[in-house]
Amino acid sequence: MILPLFLSPPSPCTKFSSTRRLLQRSNANALPNAHMRLHDDLLINGYYTTRLWIGTPPQRFALIVDTGSSVTYVPCSSCEQCGRHQDPKFQPDLSSTYQPVKCSIDCNCDDEKEQCVYERQYAEMSTSSGVLGEDIISFGNLSALAPQRIVFGCENMETGDLYSQHADGIMGLGRGDLSIVDHLVDKGVINDSFSLCYGGMGIGGGAMVLGGISPPSDMVFSQSDPVRSPYYNIDLKEIHVAGKPLPLNPTVFDGKHGTILDSGTTYAYLPEAAFVSFKDAIMKELHSLKPIRGPDPNYNDICFSGAGSDISQQSSTFPAVEMVFGNGQKLLLSPENYLFRHSKVHGAYCLGIFQNGKDPTTLLGGIVVRNTLVFYDRENSKIVQKCHLPWLLLTNNIMVFQMKRKLDK
């Protein structure tokens, strides 16, 4: 689970350009996309990764796609406090196109005032710090987007989950000068949007597109307020269980940042009042199931047995859940969007929505958008979602694009 807790001061590199963005809008139809596959699984790994290639010649990395982080970083060869990950550390000396980002008034500098540095701390208390460098980043052979020079973090230290995880690092899709999305938009090479589509329970993987797509006309959307928060927030007002609204004041979802949609977080977390009401409403609907202990004795998971193993058949057992936004639109959550399989009991499931301690923040992680296309329309400050759209839709688009490339050769 990766959730930013502290935001670092502004870092270098690109500055917002209204002229550039206006020009980019006028050329929107001509801009390419970066189509990329997603790997791993929410329950097994706790995250989804994609592949990026950095340097000349390219060095491959498996990075967690994280809308809650604004920096992309990988372990550097000089890092003595980095864990053992999926791929070898990045070796700047082996890349003919690597350049360090020199110290300036726009960034945090190292003690010698020679190079820009970054530092990130996350809610589970893991940390990442290192220097900033610039190099050629490639998006794979499925992408129509050519390799681009991008600023990224070269880690000198990592702790906690970042140290122990299998993935190499983080692909920061959040808002901010160091975000890979902001870099590409500021260069005028993609539209100001991206899409994520996670595979459903038992499927894993998925697809991602950097740049614009043509979303289905019947998608549900919510406004997102970039002025209020650096995170991707949505205007959640109500939650319905089995067609009945939870007896809550709508302001319960209106914490400091609003309701945050974070792809780097595994589960969903509600403020105390909302969680208690949600849990009670769910349990009232599950008379035929037996409450059991969770798979990990260290946690008080709420689990039930007797539901059967086929998640596609669970809508007749578990109630429908709807999220209602400020504009009146509703997003339907099927059972796989709020449950995870019990790892030790066949046919048992546990709630994947938890209380966020005493924190008033509502945080919606990857479980809520499994088997759902999420279109981050940053230009229009909207987040658009399509219920139960199989991730194969984007994957098929990738396959069609790949076939077209072969035919064009």
pLDDT confidence of residue 29: 57
Secondary structure of residue 28 in the 3-state scheme:
helix
Please identify which of the residues 40, 66, 135, 168 carries the catalytic annotation: 66
- 364, 259 Cβ separation under 8 angstroms: yes
Contacts of 24 (CB under 8 A, 6+ apart): 31, 185, 188, 191, 192
Q: Express each pLDDT in 359-385 by its tens digit.
A: 999 999 999 998 888 999 999 888 877
Residue 141: predicted pLDDT:
85
- Pick from 281, 367, 356: nearest CA to 47: 367
Q: Rounded to an integer, what is the distance from CA 331 to the centroid of its chain?
A: 18
Mean pLDDT of the region 39-66: 94
One-letter amino acid at 139 equals F
- Rounded to an integer, the average pLDDT of 78-105 is 97
Q: Greater confidence, 388 or 53?
A: 53
The radius of gyration computed from the CA coordinates of the chain, to the nearest angstrom, equals 21
Given the residues 135, 186, 192, 262, select the one marked as catalytic: 262
Determine the Cα–Cα distance for residues 368 and 314; give it in Å rounded to an integer: 16
Question: What is the reported pLDDT for 394?
Answer: 52
The string of pLDDT tens digits covering residues 341-364 is: 999 999 999 999 999 998 999 999
For 171-176, what is the mean pLDDT? 94
Confidence band of 104 (pLDDT split at 50, 70, 90):
very high
Mean of pLDDT values over 96-112: 94
Query: Is the pLDDT score of 202 beyond 80?
Result: no
**Which band of pLDDT confidence, cut at 50, 70 and 90, is reported for residue 16?**
very low
Neighbour-count burial of 243, counting CB atoms closer than 10 A to its CB (0-12 exposed, 13-18 middle, 19+ buried): exposed
- Closest by Cα among 137, 145, 136 to 34: 145
Residue 280 known to be catalytic: no
The encoded tokens of residue 315 equal 């809508």
262 is catalytic: yes
Q: Matching CATH topology for 4-213+394-408 and 220-388?
A: yes
Phi, psi of 102 (to 5 degrees): -75, 150
Strand partners, 223: 382
Both ends of the chain: CA-CA distance in Å?
42
Task: Write out pLDDT tens, residues 241-298.
Answer: 999 999 999 899 988 788 999 998 999 999 999 999 999 999 999 988 999 999 998 8
CA distance 302 to 300: 6
Query: Torsion over CA of 163, 165, 170 and 175, rounded to 10 degrees?
Result: -90
Over residues 56-65, the mean pLDDT reads 98
Q: What pLDDT does residue 386 have?
A: 61
| β-bridge partners, 233 | 260
Q: Which residues pair with 76 in a beta bridge?
A: 90
Domain ranges of the chain: 4-213+394-408, 220-388
Query: Of the ranges 120-134, 197-211, 294-308, 357-371, which one carries the lowest mean pLDDT score?
Result: 197-211
**Domain made up of 4-213+394-408: CATH architecture:** Beta Barrel (2.40)
What are φ and ψ of residue 73, in 5° steps?
-150, 155
Strand partners, 54: 59, 137
pLDDT confidence of residue 199? 84
Residue 14 has pLDDT above 70, yes or no: no
- Looking at domain 220-388, which of 1.10.3720.10, 3.20.20.220, 2.40.70.10, 1.20.272.10 is its CATH number? 2.40.70.10
> pTM of the entire structure?
0.86
At 127-146, the pLDDT tens digits run: 999 999 999 999 998 889 99
pLDDT value at position 119? 96
Contacts of 142 (CB under 8 A, 6+ apart): 35, 36, 37, 398, 401, 402
State what percent of residues in the chain have pLDDT above 70. 87
User: Is the pLDDT reported for residue 406 higher than 80?
Assistant: no
| pLDDT greater at residue 296 or residue 123 | 296
At residue 3, the pLDDT reads 34
Quote the pLDDT of residue 255.
Answer: 82
Largest CA distance in the chain: 66
